[in-house]
Amino acid sequence: MKNLLGVVLIVTTSFSAFTQGRVDGFLKGKGNLDIAVGTNVELNERFYAGNNLIDLSRTIVSANTFFAYGIANNLDVNVSIPFVSVNGVENNLQDVALFLKYQFTQLKLADGKKGKINFLIAGGFSSNITNYETEGGSAIGQQAKVLDIRPVIHYQTNSGFFTTLQGGYNYKFDPVPDAAVFAAKIGLAKANWYADLWYDGQIGRGGLDYLGIPAPASFRELGVDYHKIGGTFYKPVKERLGIYGGASYVLDGRNISKGIGFSLGLVFKPNVKRKNKSKE
């Protein structure tokens, strides 16, 4: 199960580039590298103009390359590079993100017999690296430059059950409004598979509304809220290769598309060491 837990981080955070929170409660371990490549399809028939649903179809196809590396046993670095296509009209690289995650303490319950609680702090920066489209029904994003800081609490039992809570703040450079972010996850990581269910939310601080009064001079001024749910499943297929899939759904929001999303991807572990099965 140790090898499987080592890959959980990249499964959840590579999928999260499209859906859930950017960080998780698992760590890679010093010197370990994981690489994930995946795709996500969002089928949206409606759009929240402010808080009002209107008929505005947006089909979003995304591809993401994600890297996770253990700088130390309690410190990880993550990099994600997404490519986004909206309605088959606009196609471009979106916002590249760099994150550091540090576990500053761990609490073992009953000397570890009842599990452990990890306390982490994560911080990162994301920014557009291309001048992609920000206006109209096929806008790729807001070209936001974001400082993201969030504490994470992660509880994990010896049987593989875990739950993770996180919250934080996104400071976004003008004219994009700031946002508060929060997420919760429960899951099970067994010897030969991993599964989770999650909730992810964002509350924008102010900002204007699509079709609102006053009208925004640019879509970059829109305030964005959302409440999403979803799940992820991962299965190793070879010693250094695994496959994952997931689904997500937007429950409610503001200035965001409403629909369902599906993800599929591969995880590569180039430096995993062979181990005797009796030790796993």
DSSP states along 142-208: ----EEEEEEEEEEE-TTSEEEEEEEEEEEE-TTSPPEEEEEEEEEEE-SS-EEEEEEEEEEE-S-B
What gap in Å lies between CA 25 and CA 85, rounded to an integer? 30
* 112 located within any domain: yes
Considering the domain boundaries, does residue 279 fall inside one?
Answer: no
According to DSSP, residue 74 is labeled T
Is residue 105 assigned to a domain? yes
Boundaries of domain holding 134: 2-271
Number of domains in the chain: 1
Asked if residue 160 belongs to a domain, the reply is yes
Extract the runs of DSSP E, i.e. beta strands, from 50-160. 52-72, 75-86, 90-93, 95-108, 116-128, 146-156
Residue 276 lies in a domain: no
- Could you give the CA distance from residue 51 to residue 46 in angstroms, rounded to a whole number? 12
Query: CA dihedral defined by 220, 65, 265, 27, rounded to 10 degrees?
Result: -100
The pLDDT of residue 149 = 95
Which residue type sits at 55?
D
What's residue 55's pLDDT?
A: 96
- The verdict on whether omega for the bond into residue 177 sits within 30 degrees of 0, i.e. cis, is no
DSSP three-state, residue 278: helix
- Mean pLDDT (10-residue bins), the chain, 280 residues: 51 47 85 95 97 96 95 96 96 96 95 92 96 96 96 95 96 97 95 94 96 95 97 93 96 97 94 51
**Does 31 fall in a domain?**
yes
Assigned domain for 278 exists: no
Task: Please give the helix or strand (H or E) that residue 14 lies within, else none.
Answer: helix 2-16
Output the pTM of the full model. 0.89
CATH of the domain at 88: 2.40.160.40
Asked whether residue 169 is domain-assigned, the answer is: yes
β partners of residue 152: 120, 166
